[in-house]
Amino acid sequence: MLLQWWVARLIGMANAFEARQHRRTAGIRRLRRLSGWTAAAVVVAVAGVSAMVGELLPGRHAVPTTVSGSAGPATGDDGAFTNGDGGSVGPAPAGALPAATSGAS
Amino acid sequence: MSARLAAVAPPDRIAVRDHLAAIEWPALGTTARVVVTEPHALETALRQVAATVEAVDAAANRFRDDAEVRRLQAAGGAWVRVSPTLRELITVAMEAAHHTGGLVDPTVGGALSALGYDRDWGSVDRHGPALSPAAAAAPAVGWRCVALDGDRVRVPAGVLLDLGSTGKAWCADRAAAMAARVSGSGVLVSLGGDVATAGQVPDGGWVVRIAEDHRSDDPAAPLLLVRWGGVATSSTLRRRWWRGDRAAHHIIDPRTGTSAVSRWRTVTVAAGSCTVANTMATAALVAGADGEALLAAARLPARLVAVDGTVCAVGGWPGRSAAGS
């Protein structure tokens, strides 16, 4: 009886071990698949955010390279000259000291 | 303080205020001003701006004997190889003409000369004799007659280019961008009131006074906060002169070949660049009654001052949305 009990237990332990191994292997495969997709998604997200941040950086549009759509400045070499963008302006706070004057010369 | 900086602008013209450093000096027949957000970067920025201004002057100043644009004039319609700076200036002028339907046209040089603006502004006779009938105004030949092929340009014999409508503003844009790049500072460049910004922005933005004369220090003048882009003002009140009993000014209507007769006396425009701002301000002045609609269609914030002093704002210009005085 005791021997039977030990054999059954050993078989059970072996089965449990095998099941754990199986689960672990499947988990690793899943993890590998997931990490592949995650890495790709992270790369895409970082590229997207970088592009957005680049667009939003102050002064970026003030570099006179090219104008397309509403991108801003004029021009020369390869640029179209559009007038669809008003820069970014707003009301100055009361009492502010001007850095320059826009007027005719 | 280097000798170069001192030569371009005397140290007593340097002002530091609100963490901004500024310097002014005479250039391009007017006043150049550089403001930086990092005072230690002033000298670097100033050198870059001064170099850009000199390059543009050497390329496009029609009153300078050694200017490249004079070689085009002397070529009698032949192809002439030009520097990248002049090629860019001409390209921009032609783009401006194209996008304003010819309201801003570089081929008005002859008309300006015929009206009396044929030398450096400081030497122009403000009260000259009446023009002879033979000098009757004629429409400008038009920008399409100018041919560009790589680094070569051809201008028909007898056609004089005046790149003033876009050249100064383009110079401000280019100078600000390059100065910001080499100095690492936020930079504002004003060339006779054509204002360009580049690089980092002071807290809130650049505060720019809006006036009809760029030398104004009127404390009651409206202020504009510029976060990025440029601002330019065109006016018929400046650079005026008389020939007999006839007044003339430097804003030429290419359709007539004479000083524009406009509903507006001054137009200020904000845009993504000073070049676009100045082009559209001049176009609105020349367009006259249609100027307001032109700017509204372009969705550019603009402030127009009518001949009678009435002020009109369009395109989200801050503070005032309807006509008022």
Beta-carbon contacts of A48 under 8 Å, excluding residues fewer than 6 positions away, are none
Q: How many other C-beta atoms are found inside a 10 Å radius of the C-beta of residue B34? A: 29
| Per-residue pLDDT at B17 | 66
Give domain status of residue A13, yes or no: yes
List pLDDT tens digits, range A53-63: 544 443 333 32
- Identify residue A23 by its one-letter amino acid code: R
Judged by a CB distance cut-off of 8 A, whether residue A98 touches chain B is yes
Judged by a CB distance cut-off of 8 A, whether residue A74 touches chain B is yes
d(CA B65, CA B181): 32
With CB atoms and an 8 Å threshold, state whether A62 touches B204.
Answer: no
Burial B95-130 (b: 16+ CB within 10 A, else e): bbbebbebbbbbbbbbbbebbbbbeeeeebeeeeee
List pLDDT tens digits, range B87-118: 999 999 999 999 999 999 999 999 999 999 99
| Per-residue pLDDT at B183 | 97
Chain B positions in Cβ-Cβ contact with residue A60 (cut-off 8 Å)? 228
With CB atoms and an 8 Å threshold, state whether A75 touches B275.
Answer: yes
d(CA B294, CA B100): 9
d(CA B154, CA B148): 7
With CB atoms and an 8 Å threshold, state whether A83 touches B271.
Answer: yes
Indicate the average pLDDT of chain B: 92
The answer to which of A7-11, B136-140, B199-203, B302-306 has the lowest mean pLDDT is A7-11
Q: Residue B132 class from Cβ within 10 Å (0-12 exposed, 13-18 middle, 19+ buried)?
A: exposed
List pLDDT tens digits, range B155-164: 999 999 999 9
**Parent domain of A22:** 2-62
Instruction: Please compute the mean of the pLDDT values over residues B255-272 and round it to a whole number.
Output: 97
| Per-residue pLDDT at A50 | 60
Chain A positions in Cβ-Cβ contact with residue B233 (cut-off 8 Å)? 102-104
Q: Helices (DSSP H) in B116-200: which residue ranges? A: 164-183
Answer whether residue A27 shows pLDDT above 80.
Answer: no
Q: How many angstroms from the chain centroid is the CA of residue B121?
A: 14
SS3 A86: coil
- Give residue limits of the domains in chain B: 1-228
In chain A, the number of structural domains is 1
Give domain status of residue A45, yes or no: yes
For B66, the token pair is: 């050694």
With CB atoms and an 8 Å threshold, state whether B228 touches A87.
Answer: yes
Q: Residue B300 class from Cβ within 10 Å (0-12 exposed, 13-18 middle, 19+ buried)?
A: buried
Angle, alpha carbons B79-B81-B87 (nearest 5°): 105
ipTM higher than the 0.95 cut: no
List pLDDT tens digits, range B269-314: 999 999 999 999 999 999 999 999 999 999 999 999 999 999 999 9
Could you give the C-alpha distances from A29 to A15, A17, A20, B187, in angstroms and in order?
21, 18, 14, 55
Residue B268 pLDDT class (50, 70, 90 cuts): very high
Give domain status of residue A44, yes or no: yes
Judged by a CB distance cut-off of 8 A, whether residue B300 touches chain A is yes
More confident residue, A80 or B166: B166
d(CA B90, CA B161): 9
Q: Residue A52 class from Cβ within 10 Å (0-12 exposed, 13-18 middle, 19+ buried)?
A: exposed
Helices and strands (DSSP H and E) totals, chain B: 8, 19
**H or E segment to which residue B81 belongs:** strand B79-81
| CATH of segment(s) B1-228 | 3.10.520.10
| Per-residue pLDDT at B148 | 96
Angle at which helix B164-183 crosses helix B274-287, to 10 degrees, equals: 160
> How many interchain CB pairs under 8 A, A with B?
252
List pLDDT tens digits, range B46-82: 999 999 999 999 999 999 999 999 999 999 999 999 9
